[in-house]
Amino acid sequence: MFEQLVGKLPVGICIVNEAYQVIFLNHFFLDRMPSQPAQDYISTPVTTLFPEQAKFLKRRIKSVFVLQHPSFSYWQQRPHIFPFKSSRPITGEETQMFQNMEIVPISSPEHGKLACIFLQDVTAQASYYLAQQELAAALKKEHEEQLALIKKLDSAQSQLIQAEKMASTGQLAAGIAHEINNPIGFVTANLDTLREYGEHLIGLCDALHNRILAHQEAPPIPVEQLLDDYHYDLLKDDMPPLIDESREGLDRVRDIVENLKKFALEDTGGWQSINLNDTLDQMIQLISVQYKTPVFKVTSHPDVINLYCEPGSLKQAVMNIALNAAQAIEGKGFVKIELRQSAVSTSIKVIDNGSGIENQHVKKIFDPFFTTKPEGLGQGLGLSVAYTAIEKHQGRITVSSNLGKGTVFEVILPLIEPVPET
């Protein structure tokens, strides 16, 4: 019964003597050997039966005889010691058998010292393990590809932000150029008039001079007539306001350029503390040059708010929101900016009473390239750029809109402490 049991075990058993000759093979082995009568294998050295692994088997068996200690070989080191096949449990497909082998020392009165080779078929576990490894490698590759893609997207996004910045700065610059043109136009016209007035004045002075010289010889020309000939009254009335108006025009040009410089150019990059009120005042000065009908107003609690932020991107974000508000107003209207600061956060609300946003559009407005503006007037990037900038400040942006009545955007920025310089 015992022999029957050993014969049927799902483990290969091969017993060899010190000359490596086979003493016993169970069915597991016999069923997988080339079909010869079983007794042909008995007394044949195992190294002859499996010549390809002869060296390895010899070494292992010998060590067992010498040390009288078991020896183990794991499938990952040496997967296929014996050239047997195994069928996969699910697919039934035949593959080379993955094996664990253990050689243990035994002895019998009849044969003396023996070595018993146990062979375990671990094809199922090994193929599962290998498949898992393949999967893990594929996942790792996919993960790496995704990381590379994220990096690419990141750089594409910064390019986009840069492009948008250029576009809105360009738009702003175009508006400002137009506005500078106006005062320059009337200052030029005033100067032309003043030049003519100057000629009249010189003429008048010359005539008066001549009149004084001729005083003794001829009857005098009446002074009133002279003054009249040279339109002296007009010169007297018109010259001072012309000069004042020109002066004011030049002041306007200077202010615009000053604001533009402060808002757009003096940006050293990086995080720093700014006076939010001054920054938004400059922004409004710039926007109102271009959008004249809305009334712009900033309110602030407390009166002065300092904010540690990245001014470049934050200004861009608030400007994009405020520009949208100004663009949503046709005719009369207002754009109010309400600033609030608490111990934990700063809130910037941009409120307009313009067109409002259709309900179905509200969830799309932060998507890049979503625009309801006619071609050429909007790229649909303003809010997506604002969103990214606000995220960078760990803040959030909310919107509530009433079609036909107006819109409120609120940016909430958590307090971020300046990093102390080391």
Ligand X SMILES: Nc1ncnc2c1ncn2[C@@H]1O[C@H](COP(=O)(O)OP(=O)(O)OP(=O)(O)O)[C@@H](O)[C@H]1O
Cβ distance to ligand X smaller for residue 294 or 395 = 294
Least distance (Å) from Mg ion to the CB of residue 335? 13
Binder of residue 372, out of ligand X, Mg ion, none (CB less than 5 to 8 A by kind): ligand X
Q: Does 382 bind Mg ion (CB under 5 A)?
A: yes
Cβ distance to ligand X smaller for residue 194 or 408 = 408
- 120 and 11 Cβ atoms separated by less than 8 Å: yes
Tell me the two tokens of residue 383: 């809010």
Interface of this chain with Mg ion, residues 300 to 359, rule: CB under 5 A: 324
Output the residue with the shortest Cβ distance to Mg ion.
Answer: 382
Instruction: With contacts defined by CB under 6 A, name the span among 55-63, 184-192, 366-374, 413-421 that binds ligand X.
Output: 366-374
Cβ distance to ligand X smaller for residue 146 or 159 = 159
Interface of this chain with ligand X, residues 313 to 352, rule: CB under 6 A: 320, 324-325, 328, 352
Interface of this chain with ligand X, residues 386 to 415, rule: CB under 6 A: 407
Q: Does 353 bind ligand X (CB under 6 A)?
A: no
Integer distance in angstroms from the first to the last C-alpha of the chain?
83
Per-residue DSSP letter, 123: H
Compute the distance between CA of residue 354 and CA of residue 275 in angstroms, rounded to an integer: 28
Tell me the two tokens of residue 146: 């995704």
Please give the single-letter amino acid code of residue 34: P
- 361 and 279 Cβ atoms separated by less than 8 Å: no
Number of residues that bind ligand X (CB under 6 A): 22
- Residue from 380, 410, 412, 416 in contact with ligand X (CB under 6 A): 380
Compute the distance between CA of residue 84 and CA of residue 98 in angstroms, rounded to an integer: 9
Count how many Cα atoms sit within 13 Å of the Cα of residue 286 in the half-sphere of its side chain. 29
Number of residues that bind Mg ion (CB under 5 A): 2
Provide the Cα torsion 269, 270, 272, 275; round to 10°: 40
Binder of residue 397, out of ligand X, Mg ion, none (CB less than 5 to 8 A by kind): none
- Residue from 8, 140, 215, 373 in contact with ligand X (CB under 6 A): 373
Compute the distance between CA of residue 129 and CA of residue 150 in angstroms, rounded to an integer: 31
> What backbone torsions phi and psi does residue 92 show, to the nearest 5 degrees?
75, 0
Please give the single-letter amino acid code of residue 174: A
Compute the distance between CA of residue 302 and CA of residue 296 in angstroms, rounded to an integer: 19
Residue 302, preceding bond cis, omega within 30 degrees? yes
Binder of residue 73, out of ligand X, Mg ion, none (CB less than 5 to 8 A by kind): none
Interface of this chain with ligand X, residues 296 to 315, rule: CB under 6 A: none
Least distance (Å) from ligand X to the CB of residue 421? 36
Cβ distance to Mg ion smaller for residue 46 or 397 = 397
Q: Does 279 bind Mg ion (CB under 5 A)?
A: no
Least distance (Å) from ligand X to the CB of residue 183? 27
Tell me the two tokens of residue 401: 């809109």
Least distance (Å) from Mg ion to the CB of residue 201? 53
Within 236-380, strands assigned E span 272-275, 294-301, 306-309, 333-341, 345-352
Cβ distance to Mg ion smaller for residue 382 or 406 = 382
Cβ distance to ligand X smaller for residue 190 or 371 = 371
Q: Which residues contact 298 (CB under 8 A, 6 or more apart)?
A: 277, 280, 281, 284, 336, 337, 338, 339
Binder of residue 407, out of ligand X, Mg ion, none (CB less than 5 to 8 A by kind): ligand X
Residues forming the site for ligand X (CB under 6 A): 320, 324-325, 328, 352, 354-357, 365, 370-373, 378-384, 407
Interface residues with Mg ion (CB under 5 A) are 324, 382
